[in-house]
Each structure stands twice: as C-alpha cells, then as structure tokens.
A and B are shown apart, each in its own frame.
Chain A
C-alpha cells in the first residue's frame, strides 16, 4: 500500500495543456499513473496526450470520476484552481506551482478546510507511490523504487537526493511526499507522519525538514506522544544566518522562530535520530531496518 495515492487514484491535471503540464503529465502517464482528464478553461472538448480536456473541474469529475487533482497552472491562477477542485468534491489536491501570493493561499486553505479537501503544496514536487506505479507531480520517474520507507520532505531536489541515496542501498519507498517550501501549506509534517503511522506498508519514516516555521516541532510533539515506527530526521539550512530567506519563501529564521537548533532538539527529544548528512540518513535507516531490506 501507500499513503494518499494508489494505483486506484484517478488523476486530473489542471493546466495540462501548458508546457509544464504537458511534460509532467506525460511523465506521470509513463510512470503508470491513471491520469483520466485535463482541465484548461476554454479548451474543453479537445484532446491532449490522448486524454479528454474539460473547461471545468466539475465537468471532468462528472465525466471521469477523478478523485485527485494535480495543479500546474501559473501562480496568479493557482489558488483559484485549487479551490475549484475542492468545490468539485475532489478530496486530494496537489499543487506544484511556485510563487503563489501568500494571502491567496490563506484564503484557499480556509476554503479547502470547509470542504474537507486535503492539499499537498504549493511550491512542492508532489508525491509518488512507487509500488502503486502512481505519482502526481514532478519527482523524476527513474530515481524511485518500491519499498517500505516513507519519505516526507519540504523540498524538491533534496528529496530526490534522499530517495536516490536510499535506493542505492536497496531501500525503496512506500510513498514520498514533498510538502512544499512555502510559508502557508496544505498538509504539514504532522499530518503526513500520522498517515505513515497508519500505513501497514511503511516500516520507517524519513522526515527532512528545513529552517523556518515550526512544522518540524509540531511533528516532533506528535511523534513524542508514542509513535510506533522509527523516524529518521534531517534538517537542512543549519548553517543559514537569521533573517535571510534561503530560496524557499518559507525558509527563513525570524526572531526566535524557525531556527535549526530548535527543530533538531525537538526531534531528538521525541526520540528521533537526526542525521547530519544524507549519507547518514541511509546509515540510520540501515541500523533500524537491517542491511537486507525488503524490496
């Protein structure tokens, strides 16, 4: 199994006819994902990548039974796209788009919470369940491998590095989730870690956080209250000075909040072993799961 995304997931892509949308939808299809529709206002009735295109999410859902949305629309329209999917009753929306105005996201979050829709992102690589041959987002197809490690991370390329390093030593993933680098996100570490706790196919969780905010601290609190699976932590940006935004809109130590020390300490207090390097993450996974992983 996996969390959030399975081989049964029926995915629609908002912004599928754009260049990013086209490229990544094709990759998602190649991976084996059941992509069932695209949504591009004004292009309804046409076909793209062999899939039907609709003007609205509601039409796409009615015609195809889509239950997961991937958002690849430009930042000015992204919050609207997220809300449209929630309004059409889609329970899981994954938003890849970067640079969305923060107040747009605050309103979109409020809108989604009222409808019980889960959001991954924005400004994230999306998620991938290799054993289910399903992905929504931009994690490169060739790096992943099926297995029993759950990965949750804020960033894109760093997540790929972690996945690749794990696979090199024989550890595949149940699901990898990039929650995003923005200050206002959908699911946080806590929610994703909780899902991994409940997933029978996940034996261990790698949690890769970074400076800024206090999502890592909240997850640590949850883990500290009696988490049954081993968690390996990692925090990037440990050498970053306070007050400087490190690329991600959310990666900033402001005042007393968001410092790496606070995150590392919180995780360690909760019994999480925190690695200093990606190589060390793999070593710690080896310690916990043994050298011969169940692939």
Chain B
C-alpha cells in the first residue's frame, strides 16, 4: 500500500520532519486560493506512482492564475494508468543542494538499511547503477535503531564520497541529520513500512533540510495493524498495491493472487514456484502467458471457479492451462471444481489440465469423461495448450 505524497508528508510532519507548506486542491479554484496563501507554488499530481514530472504532472506556478491553470491541466489527467483526483500545491523551495534519504529492507543482510546520498533528486536505482560510490548505507540494530554516532559516521561517509563544500558546513549536516534519520527510522517501524523515502531531501538556501518529496509504502502483510490508514486510503490503496493494471486491481478486489502478463494463454496453478515454472514452460514451447494465478494450497472448488472466472476477464485469453500438484490439494476435487466452473461459465476455449500427486488418476478420469484434455507431464501439457491456442481463431 503506497501513501500519496501529501499523506506521506503528513506522517513525516507527525514525527517532526519538516516539509514545505502545502494545501491539497481538488479543483483549479482551490489551487488558486492555495497560491494566494502560499505565493509561488509547485502544483503536483497526487497519484501513487513515480515519473509524475516526466508525465507532465508537476508544474511550477508563480501566480495564483498560473496555479489555477496548472491545476486545470493536471487534474483528471492520466499518469501511468492513474487518473489524478487531486493536486498538492506547495511553496516553492529555494534549493541549494539535493540529498537522498531512505529507510528500506535489505534482503541480503536480512536487515533494515538507511541509505544516504548527496546525489539526491535522481532515482536511487540509477545512482546505484552509475555511481555506487555516492551511496552510503547504515544497518542499524533492529531493536535499538540508529544511534547518533552511527548517523554521524554515515553522514561523514556520504560527504566524503562527494567531496568539497556541500552548501552547508559539515557540522551542520551532522547536527541536522541525526534527528532526521532517527525520526524516519522510527516512523518506518511504527508504520510497518517497507519503504520510507525522502527524495529529494532539499537543503534550502536558508540552510534548512526540508522533505521535497516523500514516498511511503506500507508492507501489505502489516496492513491489518493499520486499519485507519487502509480506511483513509480507500480504493486508492488496493489500486496502489496492484499497480496500474485494471485486471490486477479487479483480482486484488476478489482476493486472488494474480499478475497480468499480456500474452494469450491463461494460467492457473497451485503454489507460486509451480506457477512461475508453468509460465516458463509455456514460453519454452513458444507461447505467451496471459497471467500468473496462484490458487494456493488445499483449494476448494469455489476457488477454482473464481480463478477460472478471473482468467476469463482478460479478453486476450485464447486458451487456459491449469497445472496442479496434488499434495494437500486433491486431484479429484480440483477436477470437479473445474468441470463445474467450465459448465456454469460456458467456457468454450481450449482447456488443458495437467495434474499430478494425490488422486491424480481419479481426477484425470473425471476430466476425460467431461471432454477436458488431461496432461501427464507438464512440458507435454504446455506444448498441447500452445498448439491449441495457436491453431484456434486469432
């Protein structure tokens, strides 16, 4: 779940991290009034995705009239699949220097990492690729959090990496960054965030450190601890979790683990690793998977039906490949669910089912009797569905 910029900044302010003065506007008139109050403003689209600037979703407005025009242009526009419902009008900062500060998960170290760089304002992935020496990291103790001396050492490393004068004297950076990093870390823990990022962290000409932009992502697995946030974000939250794909948004609404991939062979399987392998098999045999869909362990017939329905929502699908390993999941039960779902939904597309494991024989017999092609080996079944799809009407 991604917070919108203005929501993320509200959280930053709540722990004492300074953000530019700003107002959320849902109409050009509101934007105009905000600019009357704040002076020169930056008008920013509030959508939970990056690349807003390049898409034309961020504009500088020197006067209230300009702010009104900017908001009129941005509101309602579509950025990477998100329609813009509101804009944030923020006082324009006098920028002396841009830093990057982030708190996120380091998989390799199985730890939280604090990342600081004086090459702010760019995507940190890009900096990491092209000038990794400009990125400094700190892995604080999971329980004690970052200590002041650790943050000072981090700041000194980051400063050393870029050399020379960096708008502020060294002592000021050390003094300013200690509470800032500690507060951001605390916030990331309180919110169960998988990412808390301030980029750019602006050093103003007046010598203050202010959060120019903010990104906060709440770990989906921890949403149960933050019902208030889930409520506040409403429908935006699920959309932001599933990305900008309408089919994925729909699947998330239905509680299904589904990823839209753009090909024409619908895929259903049990277990993430097995489904990934199924996609690979389809590709190896010259096909293109339409989706990833994992029905999980011990699935009952209703789940099988819901999965089939979901896959069929994608108009590009020309055939469906079901790959089931029966452990706790029983082959005969899956077969019954599939046959019932196919009949109820009136599925006319080719359907190839490969099942192995618990009660595979019973499952296969049921399928054959119902006119569904059962497969024994996964590669053979993959070849079969790709043939059927390629032979069918375009």
Is B378 interfacial (CB-CB < 8 Å)?
yes
Categorize the interface residue count of chain B.
35 or more
Quick one: closest B residue to A217, CB to CB? B108
Partner of B112, one of A103, A214, A256: A103
Is B150 interfacial (CB-CB < 8 Å)?
no
Of B91-99, B217-225, B367-375, which binds chain A?
A: B217-225
Q: Are B272 and A248 in contact (CB under 8 A)?
A: yes
- What does DSSP make chain B's interface, helix, strand, loop or mixed? mixed
Is B189 interfacial (CB-CB < 8 Å)?
yes
Nearest CB of A to B177, in Å: 22
Q: Are A102 and B105 in contact (CB under 8 A)?
A: yes
Is A143 interfacial (CB-CB < 8 Å)?
yes
Q: Are B275 and A247 in contact (CB under 8 A)?
A: yes
B residues 251-299 touching A (CB-CB < 8 Å):
257, 259, 261, 269-277, 279-284, 289, 292, 294, 297
Is A100 interfacial (CB-CB < 8 Å)?
yes
Nearest CB of A to B240, in Å: 13
Tally A-B pairs: CB < 8 A: 168
Bound Cα distance A244, B276 (Å): 12
Nearest CB of A to B324, in Å: 9
Q: Are A157 and B274 in contact (CB under 8 A)?
A: yes
Bound Cα distance A214, B219 (Å): 21
Is A203 interfacial (CB-CB < 8 Å)?
no
Q: Are A159 and B273 in contact (CB under 8 A)?
A: yes
Q: Are B276 and A101 in contact (CB under 8 A)?
A: no
- What does DSSP make chain A's interface, helix, strand, loop or mixed? loop
Q: How many chain A residues have a CB neighbour from B under 8 Å?
A: 62
CB-CB under 8 A from B271, the residues of chain A are 155-158, 247
Is B231 interfacial (CB-CB < 8 Å)?
no
Of A6-14, A52-60, A104-112, A224-232, which binds chain B?
A: A104-112
Q: Are A75 and B221 in contact (CB under 8 A)?
A: yes
Q: Are A277 and B379 in contact (CB under 8 A)?
A: yes
Q: Are B141 and A181 in contact (CB under 8 A)?
A: no
Is B78 interfacial (CB-CB < 8 Å)?
no
CB-CB under 8 A from A183, the residues of chain B are 105, 107
Q: Which residues of A contact B (CB under 8 A)?
A: 75-76, 99-107, 109-111, 138-140, 142-143, 153-161, 164, 181, 183-185, 208, 210-215, 218, 236-241, 244-251, 254-256, 276-279
